Amino acid sequence: MATLKNSRGKFFHEHKMPPDLNFWIFFFRYAGRPLPVDEKVMARALEWKPERSNCPQLTITIEHLIRSVPDEWRALANNLFVGRVLKGDLNAMAWTERQAGVIEMNIQYTFTLSAYAAAYDEFFHNLKSFVGDVAAKRPGLESMVHELDKRFAEPWEQLDTARSGWVDRRLLVVANPVAARWAKGRESLHEDMVDAAESFVIAHELAHHLLGHTVSRRDKRKAKDAVDEVIERLGLFYAMSQFNQSQREELQADILAYLIVAQALEGAPQFSDLYRAVAGSTLALVTHAHVTESWVELDSAATHPGFTTRFNMVHKLTEMLCSDRPTGDQGDHPMAFLSQLSTFAAVALNRWASQTFSGPQKPVGVLHAADHLLRLMNEVHGRIPQARASIRQVDV
C-alpha cells in the first residue's frame, strides 16, 4: 500500500523538483521571472513546505475532496501526493509505483482553464445583455446583430489562435488571451470557476485510484459499487458495455469525480455543491475538448471517450440528483445553470464542426445561441418543480 512519504518522494524524484519548495517559487525561478516583491507574500511562500502536495491551493483541494468521501476510503486517499508539473500533455494523470500513489496536473491545463473561464463569463454576459435588449424591445437591435455577432465570436477567435501554443509540449504559455474581457468585480467568480474545474480534474484522478484503475486493489469494491449503483439507476449498463475497458474506466472516474465534488456520496447534495460540480466538470471537459479537438471519438480503440459522451454523463448525473427538487429561494436551479453551460459547450462544438467539416455550416451567432439557451431553459421550466424560466448566473 502507498504511503504519503513514499508518494511524495517518488513525485519529486520523477519530476526533478526540489522536495522542500513551493511549486510557484520553483516555477518563477524555472521561467526566469521576477518573484513577487511583497515581502509578506514571499515569506509565506517560502515558509510553506510540501506535505500533501507541492502547491498550497492543491493541498486545500485534495483535503476538501478527501473529506467528501466515505471514511473507509480515506486511508488510500490520505497517502496520495498531488502535484503540479511542467512537462506532459495538457491534462492530468494518476499513477502508482512501488508503494507510491500520485496525482499530477499539468500547469498548462490550469492556465488554459483560466482562459476558458474568462470566455464563459464573456459569453454569458453577451447573451444576458442581448436577451435583455430583446425583452426591452430596444430600437435598432436588428441592425446591430452583425456587430454583436462579431463581438460574440472574438473570444473564440482568441482561443483558436492560442490553441497551437497550448498543445505544444515544448512550450509553456502563461498569457490568457481572454483576460482583457474579465468583467470588473467578477474576478472572484472567475477564480471560483477555475477552482471548481481543478477540483473536478483532481477528483477524476482520485477516482482512478479509488476504483483500482492504477493498480489491482482488493478494497476497490466499495467505490466500484457506488459507481455501479449510479449506472444502474441511469439504466446505462448496456451502453457502458459498448466501450472498451479504458473508456469505461474514464466514464467511471467521471461519475465518481462528479459525486465527490457534488458531495453526493452520502446523502442528498446541497445546490451549492451541485453548482460546483456542474461548473467544474463542464469547464474542464470543454477546455480539454476544444484544445485537443476531442469532441467526438469514433475510434473504438481510443483510450478516452469523446466530449459528447462524457458531457452526456454530466447531464444525466445532474438530472438524477436534482430534477425532482424545487428551485432555490432565488428561483435558481442546477438544471438551469447546466442549460447555460450546455449552450456554451454547444457554441464551442459548433465552432469546431464548422471549421472541420465542409458544407454550409457556419459558427452560430448571438441570436442562435440565445434561442438555444431559451429553449433549454423552457424545458427546465416545464420539468422542474416551481422552476422559473429566467437567465441567472449562479456563483460556483
**389 domain-assigned:** no
Same domain, 175 and 281: yes
**394 domain-assigned:** no
**396 domain-assigned:** no
Residue 213, C-alpha cell as written in the block: 484503475
User: According to the 3-state scheme, what is the secondary structure of 173-185?
Assistant: CCCCCCHHHCCCC
Residue 117, C-alpha cell as written in the block: 473561464
Total domains in the fold of the chain: 2
What separation in angstroms does the CA of 148 have from each of 141, 233, 349, 361, 369?
9, 43, 20, 19, 12
pLDDT in tens, the chain (396 residues): 789 999 999 999 999 999 999 999 999 888 888 877 788 888 888 899 999 999 999 999 999 999 999 999 999 999 999 999 998 888 999 999 988 999 999 999 999 999 999 999 999 988 888 888 887 888 877 778 888 899 899 999 999 999 989 988 877 888 788 876 666 677 778 899 999 999 999 999 999 999 998 876 555 678 999 999 999 999 999 999 999 999 999 999 999 999 999 999 999 999 999 999 999 999 999 999 999 999 999 888 999 999 999 999 999 999 999 999 998 888 889 999 999 999 999 999 999 999 888 776 788 899 999 999 999 999 988 888 765 444 455 455
Same domain, 232 and 125: yes
CB within 8 Å of 143: residues ≥ 6 apart: none
Same domain, 67 and 154: no
Same domain, 72 and 133: no
Beta strand extents in the chain (DSSP E only): 80-85, 92-96, 101-106
Same domain, 175 and 87: no
Please give the Cα distance from 297 to 305 (Å, whole number).
Answer: 6
Among 105, 129, 144, identify where a domain stops: 105
Same domain, 75 and 160: no
DSSP structure string for 142-170: HHHHHHHHHHHHHHHHHHHHHHHHHH-TT
**23 domain-assigned:** yes
66-70 long-range contacts, CB within 8 A, separation 24+ = 68/260, 68/261, 68/263, 68/265, 69/210, 69/260, 69/265, 70/222, 70/265, 70/266
Its domain, for residue 243, covers 113-383
Looking at residue 218, its pLDDT comes to: 55
At 81, which amino acid appears? F
Same domain, 204 and 264: yes
Closest C-alpha to 312, from 334, 296, 327: 296
Among 41, 72, 105, identify where a domain stops: 105
DSSP letter for 33, please. P
Please give the Cα distance from 164 to 146 (Å, whole number).
Answer: 28
**Is residue 113 classed as helix, strand or coil in its secondary structure?**
helix
What separation in angstroms does the CA of 181 have from each of 118, 122, 231, 335?
7, 7, 40, 27
Closest C-alpha to 204, from 225, 188, 227: 227
**177 domain-assigned:** yes
**Is residue 115 classed as helix, strand or coil in its secondary structure?**
helix
DSSP letter for 53, please. B
Closest C-alpha to 275, from 252, 253, 287, 258: 258
Among 84, 105, 126, identify where a domain stops: 105
Same domain, 66 and 84: yes
Looking at residue 233, its pLDDT comes to: 96
Same domain, 294 and 214: yes
Same domain, 90 and 133: no
Other Cβ atoms closer than 10 A to 120? 25
**391 domain-assigned:** no
Same domain, 128 and 63: no
For residue 94, what are the β-bridge partners?
103
Please give the Cα distance from 212 to 73 (Å, whole number).
Answer: 12
**95 domain-assigned:** yes
**305 domain-assigned:** yes
Same domain, 169 and 66: no
